[in-house]
Structure 1
Amino acid sequence: MKRKIIFLLTLILILSSCTYFQVRDAYKTAEKGDYTKSLYSLLEILKNDPNDRRTLDAFELIYPEGERSYYNNIERTKDRDIEGYTKALLNLLRVQETYYALPEASKNQIAIIKPPFEEQTSIKRETSDSFYKIGNNFLATNYEDKLRKFGFYSEAKKYNVDNRKDILNKYNESRKNAEGRFNLEISRSRVNDQFFSRFRTAVQNDIKSYPLFSVNRERANLDLKIDLENFKYIPPTVQMFSGIDSYFETRTRTVIKRVVVEEVVNGQIVEKVKYVPVQEEYEVEIFYRYERYVKTTVAEYGLSYILSEKKGNREIASDSKTIRYVDEVAWTRYCPLRILPRDMYRFPVSEPERFVMRKNEMINKVLDIGTSEINNQLEKLDSNRIIGW
């Protein structure tokens, strides 16, 4: 039995220290039809260990299945479903690229027919043309649509192996149409100059960090109106809660106990009573007072914003909320209720006073929360240009 347990533990250690679980997950992913993700995970293993036999076997099995599946999807969707057709082309391209990315040592140990390089070029050419057609057919009725249209032409440009001028022209044209030029207006009420200036600078920098966004009031096609109001900083305040608690302590004491013993006197058993000292344990409930201190500081302000398209004043996003950051610390002190001679008390160790953030740190925190709210909307808007197929 002992040998069996040792064997099982050894097996678990071996499996956990190698690629067993990663390969197992790759099989499961492939069973769900996501061959690209499955092969990407196997590729990462082989980059670190080109000779891992378990991973090589998995790659050798999954790769042909994925390639065959996406070939079938291409045939099934061609001339019927341009988006489905383009996705199938992309997946086939990605599957074949995993093979090209393998280390040479791995390629030499697997029986996979190398995809012809000319076929890769042909797939890229067809993928680029499909994205180009999707972009041409996509009707951009608002600014988010313009970003989406630019996303399609960006993908077309990415796979434009022939450097087609019509694709490049559409890419440049759609990029210009997708530029977001912000008219940034920030108002305030009961907000100090320094906080207001820092908030405005942070928002301006966030806008400029996106490839298609800029602050340009004169040529603006987007309005971002922000209102800050009622900035408050509440200095640290302390609340104290007190009470009485107790614990039990085991002690020992010497007591005289009556003991009956038997003795032999003149050949007869006689019972005699003796009084002897005996060590005895007993419990004592010790009461003590505790004082619980809670120190709190708060910084807050009101934030309202409206992000809209200038043309038609179409609203894209808006919200109104209180931005608040609370810093709180707590500590406890203990003391006995009474002290008796020769009594020994053991209490929980009292904690030292703790300190909350300083005012400048609190302002930084609450400023970051507010600007992150605005940046989340910018990121959401920008995400329209990303074609995540």
Structure 2
Amino acid sequence: MPKPRKKKLVECRYFAWLIGTRNGVFTADGRSNTPSLGRHSLGTRNRDEALQALEELDLTMAVRHGLADATLLQDMPAELLSLEEGRRLYEEHVKRPPVAGGPKPSTAKRYRAVFDKFLQFAEAHGIRFWNEVGRPELESYAAHLDDRGYAYATEYLELNTIKQINGWLIGQGHLAGVCRIVLPLRKPEGTDTYCWRPVEVQAMVEFCLSNKELAWLADIITSLAVTGLRISELAGLRWGDVDLDRNVISIKDESTRAERRMRRHRRTTKNRRSRSFPLHSSLCEILDHLPLARDGRVFRGPRGGILKADTVRNILIRDVITPLSGRFPTEPGEIGFADGRLHSFRHYFCSVCANTGVPEQVVMRWLGQQSSRMVRHYYHLHDDEAQRQMQRVQFLNTGASDAG
């Protein structure tokens, strides 16, 4: 006897669907249609609700593939969620305080950039509602980003963020479960951030010292190179964080500080953990000649004001990297000196430590990382034991003469 079918075939207005359950939740399989419509969760354990959700899914897919007019979606009982309203809801969500799991301001700023870019693409392609954003639309957006030369890591971040927003809207009941985007994304491997070479860092420091107006930047470059700090961490460094007697520097996360008056000026680290590590002698030499400022900040901007990451970045590119690019040319299609940025100094620090034989776990502790693809990348490149073992293997018997 043929095995009884576990899924029931349901003929809707536009397509045929196999209805089943997964962990008690109803699902719809539309892969037998032309074109294939994939598999979808109907987001409910109730059969009547599942059939209603199926009707919505059937019409949504028909509109997506040009078989029905988009205005028909407006007559459906489920409320459509405009792109702008979905954005407003999510941006309100990310404004929640840290104690409730809210992200840092820099993370919220990144979300705004993702929204701006995606909504511009959606408008150009006639997409007005989050209900219309599915796997095909996300794949089309991925191609759009790729055509414009965005880095793989940037594309991954953008697409993963949209999937995250989609999941949150569904979880909060603003979207039906049938709207869930199922699109596996492959995490970027390794890194495409340029890592300075020692000769390049030395050249940048000497170039800055030769120009009185850039002398302050020589201190910044050296400090980033010998600490592996992020520019935001260096800019927020205060004299109270530096213990010259113990030769230790502390990077503090103040996200849980109670003082209300300090909220605007709280310093935070990327992983919201404080850390400390030894001072390098090169940094001690810089600290010895820096004046004590009234606000307690260690490093100042070019005009004596607060050190800002954008200011450092722009001056580094315009006044240092660009003039020196001719000395360190980059092969066409390759990443080279001209592509280096502030974060490249963090990579440089990690690379030099790996090449010098500093244990990997020690470097991760200095950098404030619990796990890091960047650290693994450089320790794979400089794995001395692996190099020694490879040289022990004799693949070709080049030194011996043939017997007999």
Which TM-score applies when normalising by structure 2?
Answer: 0.25
Bigger proportion of residues as strand? 1
Which TM-score applies when normalising by structure 1?
Answer: 0.26
Largest Rg, 1 or 2: 1
